[in-house]
């Protein structure tokens, strides 16, 4: 399994470095504007947000307190942009780890060696987890560094808890894309399409659940509902959503394993 | 006691999802240790399906098969310790160099003799430095052959192995097959190329529309095939006498030269020749290609 992980890392090292650099640059940008935002614009911005229709407001933030570090970070960075970055990366990884090798025919090369399908799948899943974890650690480190540098007073522990939750949320979508490619021969585009639809649809539905009451129940079925950055950054982190995300991820990987073990590979 | 088969296929069938017709129907055959078995048939006959079943890339609809006594489904991982495989349209990692690719394959299955892969690269004059996407089809095929042979497997399963190779490298490939056979290895390979099958195979199976229609020992095909003689007489050829020899088919012609095709005992022919002045006699090589083509086209049975 080690060679599989090693070569997967090697093949994807450049793209992962770019993901990490891009995310860190975004963190730098957000952290650098915090002070000036608080000093000059918070009152006006908060008033503007207050006056927005609740449906529009729900897409921007789950909090109205933009002038605190926790309020500021739990709005755009941790509520919208960073989850999108990590979910897109996870889906793209999950949808391609197996599918791209199957469609190009190189999966047969690996399986013509004494590598069981289970080991192959485990190697691919661990590679995806490792790559996502590496980018997440880079982003968390960047956030830790730049919040300190720009004197945004938030506990380092809370930042890392936030990034753990971010990783777990992304893993749910990544493992779903991975499972779709492992279950059937629908391929990469089907996995990307279905998972993206669920991710974007989930975000829209969950954002609107506060304004449209009948959406409360369907929203409860979606991961985004349980992703609450303001709770985490205010120090009221509960482990249940994290456990749920982990269980869903593990269940999807098991489903992928069971299905992939005995299915026909697509011809190259 | 009979020697255990290296590959034993019993009633193997495959129906792909959504298809009503069987891609492979009730295939039964065996390959002995040290035997080179050629699997011949037109496109879509079921050759690649058989190979993909043997390697457990696809699941059988019915029947079973064993390689070195292990079931191809349950013992697939174990089997692959002793198998080398080359796909018909070899797919490699385009961003890797040949050297990186072979290193990766060696890490997945460490070879006992680490110097063998570089030796093969030398024999095939394979350039391992460029990225694989920059190589021609023939050069990619060389890398494919090296990865299949580099761990010196007991069983080789090869799908159209010489596609894209130049004649010199085809020679090298035939040598490699002979070496494998000499050390007791078995080779199962599919091909369109009757000439190469004739040259390197001990036995040939003909497959059409998913069914094995005939199996022939190459030497038997040669023995059973009509032999052709070009005979020149000092005087006019005794056509009537030659025609009367049992098993002889005389080609139309006049004058001193005669071309005959003959099956069976040659003595009656030589008795006729002894009564006349013969200036030269030449036996043509047996045209196995013609014999094989009869099966290939479906009129061999």
Least CB–CB distance from B89: residue in A7, A116, A268: A268
Task: Flag whether the pTM goes above 0.90.
Answer: no
End-to-end CA distance of chain B: 32
Confidence of residue A160 (pLDDT cuts 50, 70, 90): very high
Chain A residues close to B92, C-beta within 8 Å? 106, 109
Which chain A residue's Cα is nearest to B80?
A114
Q: What is the mean pLDDT of residues B189-202?
A: 82
pLDDT at B125 over 60: yes
Q: What is the mean pLDDT of residues B231-242?
A: 91
Q: What is the pLDDT of residues B179-190, one digit of tens each?
A: 999 999 999 998
Instruction: Please report the pLDDT score of residue B140 as a whole number.
Output: 92
Cβ–Cβ gap A113/B109 under 8 Å: yes
Cβ–Cβ gap A106/B16 under 8 Å: no
pLDDT at A79 over 90: no
Confidence of residue A77 (pLDDT cuts 50, 70, 90): confident
Confidence of residue B1 (pLDDT cuts 50, 70, 90): very low
Which chain A residue's Cα is nearest to B81?
A114
The reply to whether B77 touches chain A by the CB within 8 Å rule is: yes
Instruction: Please report the pLDDT score of residue B27 as a whole number.
Output: 93
Q: Tokens 């052709």 appear where?
A: B228
Which chain B residue's Cα is nearest to A119?
B77
Confidence of residue B145 (pLDDT cuts 50, 70, 90): very high
Residues 6 or more apart whose CB falls under 8 angstroms from that of B9 comprise: B27, B28, B29, B30, B50, B54, B63, B65
pLDDT at B301 over 70: no
Mean pLDDT of chain A: 85
Proportion of chain B above pLDDT 70, given as a percent: 92
Q: What is the pLDDT of residues A26-69, one digit of tens each?
A: 989 888 887 776 666 566 666 666 666 666 655 565 555 667 87
Cα distance from A91 to chain B (closest Cα, Å)? 22
Stretch among A60-74, B55-69, B251-265 having the lowest mean pLDDT: A60-74
Question: Among B55, B4, B56, B53, which Cα is nearest to B26's?
Answer: B53
Contact A167, A227 (CB under 8 A): no
Cβ–Cβ gap B87/A109 under 8 Å: yes
Stretch among A71-75, A260-264, B92-96, B229-233 having the lowest mean pLDDT: A71-75
Tokens coding A105: 């025919």
Q: What is the pLDDT of residues A196-224, one digit of tens each?
A: 888 888 888 877 777 777 777 777 888 88
Instruction: Please report the pLDDT score of residue B225 as a whole number.
Output: 67
Question: Among A265, A6, A4, A7, which Cα is nearest to A122's?
Answer: A4
Instruction: Please report the pLDDT score of residue A19 as a whole number.
Output: 93
The reply to whether B17 touches chain A by the CB within 8 Å rule is: yes
Question: Among A177, A95, A166, which Cα is nearest to A132's?
Answer: A166
pLDDT at B248 over 90: no
Proportion of chain A above pLDDT 90, given as a percent: 44
Q: How many beta-carbon contacts under 8 Å exist across A and B?
A: 66
Instruction: Please report the pLDDT score of residue A42 as a whole number.
Output: 60
The span from the CA of A171 to the CA of A175, in Å, is: 6
């Amino acid at each position: 399994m080690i060679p599989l992980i090693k070569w997967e890392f090697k093949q994807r090292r450049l793209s992962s470095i770019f993901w990490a650099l891009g995310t860190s640059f975004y963190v730098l940008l957000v952290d650098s504007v915090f002070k000036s935002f608080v000093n000059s614009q918070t009152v006006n911005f908060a008033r503007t947000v207050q006056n927005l229709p609740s449906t529009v407001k729900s897409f921007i933030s789950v909090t109205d307190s933009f002038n605190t570090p926790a309020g500021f970070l739990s709005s755009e960075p941790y509520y919208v942009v960073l989850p999108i970055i990590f979910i897109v990366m996870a889906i793209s990884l999950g949808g391609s780890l197996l599918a791209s090798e199957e469609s190009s025919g190189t999966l047969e090369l690996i399986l013509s060696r004494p590598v069981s399908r289970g080991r192959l799948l485990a190697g691919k899943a661990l590679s995806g987890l490792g790559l996502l974890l590496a980018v997440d650690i880079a982003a968390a480190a960047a956030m830790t560094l730049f919040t300190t540098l720009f004197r945004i007073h938030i506990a380092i522990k809370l930042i890392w808890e936030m990034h753990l939750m971010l990783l777990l949320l992304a893993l749910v979508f990544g493992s779903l894309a991975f499972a779709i490619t492992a279950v059937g021969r629908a391929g990469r585009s089907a996995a990307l399409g279905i998972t993206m639809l669920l991710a974007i649809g989930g975000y829209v539905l969950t954002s609107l659940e506060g304004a449209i009451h009948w959406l409360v129940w369907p929203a409860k079925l979606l991961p985004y509902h349980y992703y609450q950055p303001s709770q985490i950054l205010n120090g009221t982190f509960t482990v249940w959503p994290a456990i749920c995300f982990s269980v869903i991820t593990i269940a999807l990987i098991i489903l992928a394993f069971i299905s992939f073990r005995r299915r026909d590979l697509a011809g190259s | 006691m009979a020697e255990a088969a290296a590959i034993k296929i019993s009633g193997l069938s495959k129906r792909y999802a959504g298809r009503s017709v069987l891609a492979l129907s009730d295939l039964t055959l065996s390959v002995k240790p040290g035997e080179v078995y050629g699997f011949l048939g037109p496109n879509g006959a079921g050759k690649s399906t058989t190979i993909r079943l043997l390697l457990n890339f696809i699941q059988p609809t019915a029947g079973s098969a064993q390689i070195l006594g292990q079931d191809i489904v349950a013992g697939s991982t174990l089997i692959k310790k002793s198998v080398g495989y080359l796909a018909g349209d070899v797919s490699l990692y385009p961003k890797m160099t040949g050297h990186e690719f072979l290193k990766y394959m060696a890490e997945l299955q460490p070879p006992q003799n680490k110097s063998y892969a570089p030796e093969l690269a030398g024999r095939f004059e394979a350039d391992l430095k460029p990225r694989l996407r920059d190589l021609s089809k023939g050069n990619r095929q060389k890398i494919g052959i090296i990865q299949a042979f580099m761990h010196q497997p007991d069983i080789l399963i090869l799908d159209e192995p010489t596609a894209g190779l130049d004649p010199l490298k085809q020679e090298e490939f035939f040598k490699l097959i002979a070496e494998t056979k000499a050390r007791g290895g078995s080779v199962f390979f599919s091909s369109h190329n009757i000439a190469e099958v004739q040259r390197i195979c001990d036995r040939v199976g003909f497959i059409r529309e998913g069914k094995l229609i005939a199996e022939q020992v190459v030497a038997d095909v040669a023995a059973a095939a009509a032999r052709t003689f070009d005979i020149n007489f000092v005087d006019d050829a005794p056509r009537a006498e030659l025609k009367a020899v049992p098993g002889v088919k005389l080609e139309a012609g006049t004058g001193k030269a005669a071309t005959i095709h003959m099956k069976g005992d040659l003595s009656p022919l030589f008795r006729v020749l002894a009564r006349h002045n013969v200036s030269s006699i030449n036996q043509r090589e047996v045209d196995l290609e013609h014999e094989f083509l009869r099966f290939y086209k479906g009129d061999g049975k």
